[in-house]
Amino acid sequence: MKQRTLALVAVALVAATPLWAQVPRLPPGAASEWIVRQPEEIVGYLTLDPASIRDRLPGSLRFITVEELAGGGVGWAREYLSAHPSHGGRAISILEIVRAGTFSIDGRQPLWPPNGAVALWFARVAPIDEAAYAEPGQPLLLLDLWMPDSAYAAYMSRLGYHATPGDVRLVRTLGGEWSGRIAARGLNVLAKCSPAGTVLGGSASRGTQVFYPPADSPGSAVIIVAFAGHRTQDCTGAATWRLRGDHPAAGGTLVSPSSFEWGYELEGGTYRH
């Protein structure tokens, strides 16, 4: 009983602490500072043939596969592999459409159009030499980032970050459904999500991630982000993703369910390797 009481007190203290104070500390030496607050995002999960993006994989990394996760007991990977038995060697990627109350790098924010958002497409990866991996978080390969403010995309590129212009929007309808779109070179995406059911995460949710640039990026900056307060719900009902074009993401296979995520605070830093 005493242990349970102490646990409840600890949770209460975490809940009472401002989110920004709960964000894990970043390593020193960042070349630029990222801040994201009040985010709302649709997140889709796609598997794809790793050969379609093999030339974008840095030599120090490898793709995590569906078969690898299924063998490790990950439920969705087992279900997916049962439905798609020939997809065991596929890579796992994540497509996000995000709008935020604050999105800044070194204090500069984009000029958003109405319902403007940013889109990110990244893949699950692991270091080839795991014993030598010293970064403080889960490694991810950031394949593409699309931003509707072309001047801001150029600003990000000058900082060594892989970013390109694209018309990205995210809007909530009166019925509570979220609708997102991406119109970029070689890729058109329409996504719909009606979040419902159990809310996961919350005040005790925190972590760090490491985003590596693709091998064909003109910059070599690594982005390390730390976050707290992450909340997520499954997209239910008529959740859909329509992907068109000759971009590799358009050839991906959707993994259900998609999710709606919000509520966290994020701090990041650009580190030149």
211-260 pLDDT per residue, tens? 999 998 877 789 999 999 999 999 987 668 999 999 999 999 999 889 99
Q: Which of 94, 95, 100 has the alpha carbon at shortest distance from 112?
A: 100
Q: What is the pTM of this model?
A: 0.90
| Average pLDDT of the residues in 46-60 | 95
Does 3 score more than 50 pLDDT?
A: no
**Any idea how long the chain is?**
273
**3-class SS at 248?**
helix
Peptide bond into 257 cis (omega under 30): yes
Q: Are strands 91-105 and 118-127 parallel, antiparallel or unpaired?
A: antiparallel
pLDDT of residue 252: 95
Report the distance separating Cα 61 and Cα 46, nearest Å: 19
129-175 pLDDT per residue, tens? 988 888 888 999 999 999 999 999 999 988 878 799 999 999 998 88
Counting residues of the chain whose pLDDT is more than 70, the rounded percentage is 91
Does 62 score more than 90 pLDDT?
A: yes
pLDDT of residue 12: 41
107-118 pLDDT per residue, tens? 999 999 999 999
Q: Are strands 187-201 and 231-244 parallel, antiparallel or unpaired?
A: antiparallel
**3-class SS at 158?**
helix
Instruction: Answer with the residue of higher pLDDT: 15 or 45.
Output: 45
Using the Cα atoms of residue 261, residue 264, residue 269 and residue 273 in order, give the sign of their dihedral.
negative
| Average pLDDT of the residues in 82-95 | 96
Cβ atoms 226, 205 nearer than 8 A: no
- Ordered by where they begin, the domains of the chain are 36-272 (2.40.400.10)
Burial zone of 39 (CB within 10 Å; 0-12 exposed, 13-18 middle, 19+ buried): buried
Report the distance separating Cα 68 and Cα 126, nearest Å: 11
pLDDT of residue 10: 39
pLDDT-derived band at 38, boundaries 50, 70, 90: very high
Does 6 score more than 60 pLDDT?
A: no
Does 68 score more than 50 pLDDT?
A: yes
Instruction: Answer with the residue of higher pLDDT: 191 or 272.
Output: 191
Average pLDDT, the chain: 90
DSSP secondary structure string for all residues of 6-50: HHHHHHHHHHHS-HHHHSPPPPS--SEEEEEEEEEEEEEEEEE-G
Q: Which of 266, 215, 248, 234 has the alpha carbon at shortest distance from 42?
A: 234
